[in-house]
Amino acid sequence: MSPTTPGTTARRTAALLATAVLALTACAPGGSAGGAEPTGPAAADAGLPTTDVVSDITKDPAAAELLPADVRARGRLSLATSVGTPPGATYLADGKTLAGQDIDLANAVGKVLGLKIDREVASFEAILPALGSGKYDVGTGNFGVTDERRRTIDFVTYINDGQGFAVRKDSPLKKVRSLRQLCGLTVATGAGTTFEATLEENRHRCEEAGKKPYDVKTYAEQGTLWISLQQGRTDVVMSTINGLRYAVKQQPGLRFLNEFKRLDVGFAFKKGTPLAPAVRAAVNRLKKDGTYGRILKKWDTGPSAIKTSRISPPEIR
């Protein structure tokens, strides 16, 4: 699948999914009966923070000097972003305006470096291969830094997030310390993610314990993923810690279980990119002048702050 810019049809589909999530939260197990208030991760744009934390940022000549000469000359970066749910990246009510932590941070980095960001929306699973082919300069999508990915991709870290779980409130599942606790269940997760890889790599542990393996259902659309949980077609969701915390606040009848594994998250680049030092300098400049903290405060992700940006650090074990 190649990344494409979503048109009117895609935006209408996203809106329909959001509407479906709203309807389901009113009738799902443990959900509210009235359904009068907007709920669901895709519907939360009514309450999304709108504070402008980017427009006053000025160019940092020292950071910009680290840019490759050709990028500095053209004054632009092509960026692919995956759109899912807050706090990472989502659409506002108009179905075309993007908002989220990833959006603010990328825009802020662009301003520090004196570059215009040419942003294109692409599917999560398509972005990393497209970087390798040179289609984009950089990608965002809550890409966790893993040793497997570091073989072919360079990263510049900007937050620390990771893997976690969420269930319906009527689920007997408690804190997940081992994936063997999922044996016999159906697990929903995003396609092409570290969550899918983790689940597939560890499925054999159930058979080794004499238990029925868990079933993994992958979804390209976050709206469909949450619908599957609300309807009982899946038992548990494995996704980003920050995304899960946000989603369960918006959807009655759901609860966040626990963090499972922490991962650094970074801007993604083609392996060997000369852009990494400049972007790292830009992130660290944002930390120093307080903009970084203001962005994380805006999106309520303060616990995910990093001390300093790094280039492709080892996977957190």
pLDDT tens sequence across 247-276: 999 899 999 999 999 999 999 999 999 999
Distances (CA, A) of 229 to 166, 237, 269, 273: 9, 7, 33, 40
236-240 vs 186-190, strand pairing mode: parallel
Which DSSP string do the residues of 119-159 spell out, in sequence order?
EEE--HHHHHHHHHTTS-SEEES--B--HHHHTTEEEEEEE
pLDDT of residue 310: 98
pLDDT of residue 220: 86
Q: Which segments in the chain show pLDDT lower than 70? A: 1-46
Locate 257 and state its tokens.
């279980």
pLDDT of residue 37: 27
pLDDT of residue 30: 29
Rounded-to-integer distance, Cα 188 and Cα 232, Å: 11
Rounded-to-integer distance, Cα 52 and Cα 17, Å: 28
pLDDT of residue 122: 95
